[in-house]
Structure formats: structure tokens, C-alpha cells
């Protein structure tokens, strides 16, 4: 399963982007490896399941561990780099289906505010009682 979600060639692209873990002077449980957390993150994002339901059998720690790692990577800007590297890697192997691409309206600037649509006239009288 690890090779299906994070193949070695993709991991070699992503690994240099990740920060080195900080040492824990007070000890504690060993840190879950970044590759295992990335596998858990990708599994949750692809399946759409809640973080709490991440199966322990995957070996990527708890859902909360993966969620915290994603949060830390996102706050530090690393997740955006990982996302860019993933898209670049998929594009190199022709794995992106551009016919299904969607452009969200937040990413396109409407220079003059766009055009106003005409008001849709009512079809007929409403049989519902007026609330006014």
C-alpha cells in the first residue's frame, strides 16, 4: 500500500522539501516517519474519510498525527511545495486528465467586475401564501 500511494520515485522528489525533525530533549514516543504520515494524508484526502477513521493497519500513525503534520506543513508553506512537486511529477508521466480540470472563480480575477445577468422574470403567480 505504501508503494501505491507514495512510490519511491515520488518520495525522492518530496523528501528534500521536508524539514528535519527537531530533537525532543524530554523524550516521548518516537516520531512517525514523514513518509508514513504522507501516506496517511493522501489516503484520507483520496478517500474522503474522516481523520479519526484512518485505519491503524496502514502503519501511518493516528489520523490526528497525520492531520497535525499536514497542518504544520501547510503553515510553513511546505504543503504547497509538495503539491507543486506532485503535480509536476504527475504531468511528467501524463497522469493528469486536463479534460476534467476545473478553474475555481476565486483564482480568476474579474477585471471590471464581470457582467451583470438579467433578472429572471417570474413564470406565473405563486400559489404559496405570502409571508408579508
Is 130's pLDDT higher than 70?
A: no
**CA distances from residue 108 to 55, 77, 103, 105, 114 in whole angstroms, order as listed:** 38, 22, 8, 5, 11
77: left (phi over 0), alpha (psi -120 to 50) or beta: left
Q: Tell me the average pLDDT across 64-77.
A: 94
pLDDT tier, 96 (very low <50, low <70, confident <90, very high otherwise): confident
Percent of the chain with pLDDT over 70: 82
Question: Which of 110, 116, 5, 15 minimizes the C-alpha distance to 54?
Answer: 5
Q: What is the mean pLDDT of residues 68-97?
A: 90
pLDDT digits (tens, 9 = 90+) for 33-59: 999 999 999 999 989 999 999 998 988
Amino acid at each position: 500500500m505504501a508503494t501505491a500511494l507514495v512510490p519511491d520515485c515520488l518520495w525522492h522528489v518530496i523528501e528534500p522539501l521536508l524539514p528535519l525533525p527537531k530533537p525532543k530533549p524530554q523524550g516521548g514516543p518516537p516520531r512517525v516517519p514523514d513518509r508514513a504520515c504522507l501516506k496517511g494524508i493522501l489516503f484520507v484526502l483520496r478517500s474522503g474519510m474522516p481523520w479519526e477513521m484512518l485505519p491503524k493497519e496502514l502503519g501511518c500513525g493516528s489520523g490526528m498525527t497525520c492531520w497535525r503534520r499536514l497542518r504544520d506543513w501547510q503553515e510553513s508553506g511546505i504543503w504547497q511545495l509538495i503539491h507543486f512537486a506532485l503535480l509536476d511529477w504527475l504531468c511528467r508521466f501524463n497522469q493528469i486528465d486536463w479534460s476534467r480540470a476545473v478553474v475555481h472563480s476565486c483564482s480568476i480575477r474579474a477585471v471590471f467586475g464581470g457582467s451583470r445577468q438579467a433578472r429572471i422574470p417570474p413564470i406565473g403567480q405563486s400559489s404559496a401564501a405570502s409571508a408579508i
